[in-house]
Structure 1
């Protein structure tokens, strides 16, 4: 079956069902299993000398293992491929998690801090309302790219093997891709490969947001903001989302009690934002999803005609 057809079915299934608790409370989610694999390699290899070389070996094992597992699963037929792809897409769960922050923010600031702490790694205990809203919107933009668009992109290019390889490396980056004493060397290859795999999807996500929000005339400013971002990829969807909403994102934040003075995105725009702006961001997430599905359907129609 055409890979685009499989992807369209998986996107619709994910949008309809998301990640049902009744299933994943009984089974280990594939993302959890990937995390277990990363943790195992970290514990076994991240020690002694030549940590960068060991990290390269770990990344290679993860990538090759994920590819082979994906190849084996794809041989089981299109139903298995659709189910696996839908499981590894994150549209509905992303919208739900970020929407929960907006709901909590309408109720009380302590509730909002606890809720946003589930989706960001920065310190949340001292956040005010606008900082909570910015954190939620930034998470929405970044995860739209690496949780929806990038998986769809790599599934189209490489089928289930390509998707599983991407998810394995993205998971590894989220766990060991830090520039700290423990992971600066061991996590180097995972972080660099994740940067490479997200290079095109991040920019596609930013472009789609800009087109849907009719802010393509500000593309130069979006590019400039993206280049000032600490991440080579996350800045693209964040900068586009900031211009789409007419708000400022990023800026200083605290990690482990230490303030990091990161650059603002769309610095001169409104900084006093709240639940309303989060809700508007959620609409953009669904619009980008719909545009992606539409492009996939066009690809299906084109392949049928030719």
Structure 2
């Protein structure tokens, strides 16, 4: 975690060789192109996810045999705290320049339509992405590395990558991506709630756990609602709410509906500070566990 925070994603390296996340994406894309056709698409999707999972476990085991230095380097590469903060902070920076710049920046980290966003929509999208990816890209990988070493970490990462690519309820992917989506839900069950708890604890609002839990249960995602609801209360803002996907407006309810809705770059920057504060608490917990073990 410290190595990732210090170095992030060195462009000098990743401009020359493919990032592991890119390689995982190519593997998922190959499965989608080759297997997602004809009959029995759900069964084919289960087989694809099983194959990808076994590949990740085997690769993790092989890398572990190379020793602890390789383990640390690979784990640091897969964690994404520094790059997450950099991407979210870029939205605040560009939004201060112009609304158009802010829209283009947030389009890099969200999947919704951005062309007609107002400044508050841009800020909301950036903060939601910050909260969800804190869980998916930092706390969950660290958790599964703790539980299962590199095999556990890479199994989580390939599952999360598959979910982000094929785990959608669309005509093409609803059946084939079912296994990826359900397995990702399972692997994020504990980390999402752990992330919410860390956010609340580091902002002195642990007493609001019950409200966060209630809002998370009504969220469209079984896991993303936890860090999102916690972040909303930590910053005093309303998140989620209406947005557009592929030209169709979706009337999602707000999370922390009584929070501030007229938000912008200031609140995005506050979310970046919240990311670091929560990350710091996670490092302390990891260090305490290491000493205890």
TM-score range, shorter chain: over 0.9
Alignment of 1:1-306 (within 5 A): 11-303=1-293
Superposition RMSD on alpha carbons, in Å? 0.6
How far apart, in 2, do the equivalents of 1:218 and 1:74 lie? 41
Shift of 1:22: 0.5
Which stretches of structure 1, 4 residues or longer, exceed 4 Å deviation after superposition?
Answer: none
Counterpart of 1:103 in 2: which secondary structure?
helix
How far apart, in 2, do the equivalents of 1:288 and 1:221 lie? 19
Aligned residues: 293
TM-score, L = length of structure 1: 0.95
1:234-271 per-residue CA deviation (whole Å, 9 max, x = no partner) reads 00000000000001000010001000111210011110
1:197-229 per-residue CA deviation (whole Å, 9 max, x = no partner) reads 000000000011011111111211111111111
Shift of 1:54: 0.4
How far apart, in 2, do the equivalents of 1:300 and 1:240 lie? 27
How far apart, in 2, do the equivalents of 1:106 and 1:175 lie? 31
Counterpart of 2:109 in 1: which secondary structure?
coil
TM-score, L = length of structure 2: 0.99
How far apart, in 1, do the equivalents of 2:61 and 2:24 lie? 16
Counterpart of 1:236 in 2: which secondary structure?
helix
1:96-138 per-residue CA deviation (whole Å, 9 max, x = no partner) reads 0000000011111000000000000100010010100000000
Counterpart of 1:254 in 2: which secondary structure?
strand
1:169-209 per-residue CA deviation (whole Å, 9 max, x = no partner) reads 00000000000100110000000000000000000000110
1:7 maps to: none
Shift of 1:302: 1.5
